[in-house]
Structures are given as C-alpha cells and as structure tokens.
Amino acid sequence: MGENSEALLSILRLQPVVPVLIVEDAATAVPLARALVAGGLKAIEITLRTPAALDAIRAVASEVEGAVAGAGTILSAAQFDEAVEAGARFIVSPGATGDLLDIADESDVPFLPGASTASEVMGLREEGYEVLKFFPAEQAGGAPFLKALSSPLAGTLFCPTGGISLANARDYLSLPNVVCVGGSWVAPKALVEAGDWGEITRLAAEAAALRG
C-alpha cells in the first residue's frame, strides 16, 4: 500500500464517522471540535465553503488537543495549498482533477479524492489511489452501489459521504470496502448556533459507537 493510502487510513480508522463541518463563524470552531473530540470523533473535515474555513482549520489544528483537522471541498490546487498552510492534516475533494492530483503528488499531506462511477474509481486506481471518497453517496447509488463495486474493484476502500445519517450509516459500515463514513449530522447548524456543545458531544458519541 502506498504512503498516501497508509497515512489516510491511519486517520480515517480513528472512528467510524468523520464529521463534515460548514463553519460560518471561526469562533465556534474550537468549542465545536472539542465537543466532537469529547464524543470520540477526532478526525474532523472542515469544508472550504465559507470565508471562515481557513481560520477554523488553523484554530482547530493549533488549539484542540486530540483533533486531526482536515480540509474538505478542496476544488483547486490553490485551496489545497492554503489548507495545508493552515494546518490541515488531510485533504478531501468531492472529485479529482489533474491539478489536484499533481499537487497531491508533491505534498506530504494525504489526499482523499472523490469518485462516483466505476470509471472514476478505475482512473484514480491508475493514479495509485487505494482510498477514495464516494460522493454523493446516497444520490449516486448508496450502499448497494458500493457493494456492487466490492468484487470487481476489490482493493479500493471508500469513505462514503452525502446523505448519510445515523439511520443509514450501518448499511455502509457493514461493507468490506468501507473504512468510515462522512456526514454533517453530528454538528447540526441549530445546535452550533445555540452553542449546545453537550448535545453535539452526545451525537458524536452515538456516531462513534456505530459499528459494522
């Protein structure tokens, strides 16, 4: 197994669920990440969808003991660089482009590119990727789709994300080619805005207890 895959797996295997965060206010990132870590979710994906995202990654990376801050929704090489500069320890994209694969090749920070068809998975296998994001999971065929890939595309592991919740996470986690799932359900917007960190820790603990 290649270095990128080994490094990714050591992060993704920390827990069954990677929280996917859209941080509107960087000031909430530290207490939010602390609440998730307290519940047992250490690897946290902060998406670059808001102006606060890079500050949020920086704050979580430097201030939250036990957290492994990652960056999501990386669409360009420039964003890849900015996220690494901010302290991201893993980089996630909904897809893959030549530019992203090139910059990932030059980086020590592991890259989790997205795929949602057999051909996309095959293309990334040719590039040496053994661990992929399956996105958007529910909309692209869900757990039955991944199950169908497990024999012909054996050897590729997935972190499905998109439309996953406590109700269907086990459908994915029980598959041999799923290492973890990603989802935003552990950090609902209303709880973050209310600063209800206790309830977020409870949701995180419930997610951390999920097993195949």
Binding site for ligand 3PG (CB under 6 A): 20, 135, 161-164, 182-185
Active site residue 45: yes
Best CA proximity match to 71, nearest among 62, 101, 60: 60
Instruction: Determine contact, residues 134/153, Cβ cutoff 8 Å.
Output: no
Catalytically annotated residue among 45, 127, 138, 193: 45
- Closest Cα partner for 207 from 179, 191, 183, 190? 183
Report, in Å, the least distance between residue 124 CB and ligand 3PG: 18
Q: Is 42 a catalytic residue?
A: no
Q: How far is the CB of 180 from ligand 3PG (least distance, A)?
A: 13
Q: For ligand 3PG, give the closer residue by CB, 105 or 199.
A: 199
Minimum separation from the CB atom of position 169 to ligand 3PG (A): 10
**Of 128 and 175, CB closest to ligand 3PG:** 175
Pairing of strands 43-47, 157-160: unpaired
The answer to whether the CB of 204 falls within 8 A of the CB of 36 is yes
Tell which residue, 157, 181, 186, has the closest CA to residue 168.
Answer: 181
Alpha helices in the chain (DSSP H): 3-12, 26-39, 53-63, 77-86, 98-106, 118-126, 142-149, 169-173, 189-194, 197-208
* Nearest CB to ligand 3PG, comparing residues 32 and 151: 32
User: Phi and psi for 70 in degrees, rounded to 5?
Assistant: -120, 165
Q: In one letter, which amino acid is 128?
A: G
Closer by beta carbon to ligand 3PG, 11 or else 65: 11
Residues paired with residue 89 on neighbouring β-strands, in sequence order: none
Q: How far is the CB of 4 from ligand 3PG (least distance, A)?
A: 21
- Residue 135 vs 158, nearer CB to ligand 3PG: 135
Catalytic-role residue among 42, 133, 193, 206: 133
To the nearest whole angstrom, how small is the minimum distance from the Cβ of residue 160 to ligand 3PG? Answer: 9
- Catalytic residues, by residue number, are 45, 133
